[in-house]
Amino acid sequence: MPVAGPQYPVYLLLSGQACLVVGGGNVALGKVRGLLAADAAVTVVAPEVLAEVEALDGVSVERRPYRSGEVAGYRLAIAATDDPEVNRAVYLDGEAAGVWVNSADDPVNCAFTLPAVVRQGPIMVTVGTGGHSPAMATWLRRHVQGELGPEYVELLELLAEQRQVVRSQGRSTEGLSWQAVLDSGMLELIKAGNIAEARERLQACL
């Protein structure tokens, strides 16, 4: 069953924020890695926890069952157990405490869903299907991942560099032809290793 109603896409700033993952299996492992990529402070609660989870830096592991209401001590929580009743309890506790809860592969018990993610340096592209098909989101992610090479990071760095130059001159970055820059062939120049020429084209377009 898909999540009811339209969704509002947002990137959360979780650096240093306490996040809970209930569950210690392979699904939980993936969720923990995603939270660590956002520099969250992660606590894992489950009677049994994979060694791969325990080996991750920055994770606190508590080998025990979930305690009723404990989600209230966290900013965000993910229920990733194979017990629907536990996942439901975590979700309901989150609703009562105003804590956002995601239940893996259980959209009925979700306050938010997690998209498929492609990362390339600071660039992050996400794909969601509104809870209709996580498999399709993963499939689309693979297609995007094949396209998003390291040259995009180089392009981003050149754009950010030039943006700082414009701002240091007291000029507004709004209203400049950034889209024309991106359509000017800079990416192809970067792929060919012509970084200096790409920088010159960027400056000429602005």
Residue 18 neighbours by CB distance under 10 Å? 15
Give residue-wise pLDDT tens across range 82-107: 999 999 999 999 999 999 999 988 88
Domains of the chain are 1-114 (3.40.50.720), 151-205 (no CATH)
Distance CA 189, CA 151 (A): 10
Give residue-wise pLDDT tens across range 14-60: 999 999 999 999 999 999 999 999 999 999 999 999 999 999 999 99
Question: Can you list the pairs that 123-127 forms with residues at least 24 positions away whose Cβ atoms lie under 8 Å?
Answer: 123/148, 123/152, 123/153, 123/156, 124/11, 126/9
Question: Which pTM value belongs to this model?
Answer: 0.82
